Amino acid sequence: MNRAHGNRGFSMIEVLVTILLISIGVLGLVALQGRTIAYTQDSAQRNTAAMLADDLQEMMRADLDKVITATGLPRSESDYYKDDDEDFPAPADNCASLTNATAQQRLGCWAEKVKTSLPGAEALMDSAFHICRSQSGGCAEEGSTIEIQLAWAVKSGECLASSEDDDENDYCTYSVRAEF
């Protein structure tokens, strides 16, 4: 038996191996897409938190005599400060124009803006937010910086920038310290 033509085409095993490799590649792309969405969402929320913290810093800089002393250090008490487990003050009647508002009313208007900008922030306003004098992170009696911490809700353990201690939290935080 003489075959004039060589073997042509693919065997069934070659086709199955090819389908398997393509399937693994597609599953990898789907998993990558899921992580990309999570990172994009986290990035957008952190960007929003950074802009809100910057807004508060600029509000405080515009009312500097309520924030720093004559020596240039942050005051030990200020109408802009808010400790953990403390309520934010009531906002001004008209948050669109804050020229005649007190520092507490301005802080209240800022808090209202935060509630609408960060997911789940309203439930975290009392417990996870603070604005205070800081030395090296967290509120302190002394220090040359003012720390602003914001928080927003996420699914448990999905805060991408959390430390090992925060892996079970159902919220993320963003903190910034600034010298005035």
DSSP the chain: ---SS---S--HHHHHHHHHHHHHHHHHHHHHHHHHHHHHHHHHHHHHHHHHHHHHHHHHHHTGGGTB-TTSSBPSS-TT-B-TT-PPPPPPS-TT--TT--HHHHHHHHHHHHHHHSTTHHHHTTTT-EEEEESSSSB-SS-SEEEEEEEEE-STT--TT--GGGTT-SEEEEEEEE--
pLDDT of residue 137: 79
Q: What is the mean pLDDT of residues 129-148?
A: 89
Banded pLDDT at 53 (limits 50, 70, 90): very high
Express as a percent the part of the chain with pLDDT over 90: 61
pLDDT of residue 126: 92
Cα(27)–Cα(82) distance, integer angstroms: 48
Q: What are phi and psi of 53, to 5 degrees?
A: -65, -40
AA letter at 112? E
Cα(117)–Cα(45) distance, integer angstroms: 9
Banded pLDDT at 10 (limits 50, 70, 90): confident
AA letter at 150? L
Residue 158 predicted with pLDDT over 90: no
Cα(139)–Cα(130) distance, integer angstroms: 8
Banded pLDDT at 163 (limits 50, 70, 90): low
Q: In this predicted model, which residue has the larger pLDDT, 5 or 64?
A: 64
pLDDT of residue 6: 59
pLDDT of residue 38: 82
Q: What is the mean pLDDT of residues 137-162?
A: 84
- Lowest model confidence (mean pLDDT) among 19-23, 35-39, 68-72, 148-152: 35-39
pTM tops 0.85, yes or no: no
pLDDT of residue 139: 87
Residue 4 predicted with pLDDT over 60: no
With a CB cutoff of 8 Å and minimum separation 6, the contacts of 174 are 46, 49, 50, 53, 149, 150, 151
With a CB cutoff of 8 Å and minimum separation 6, the contacts of 115 are 121, 122, 125
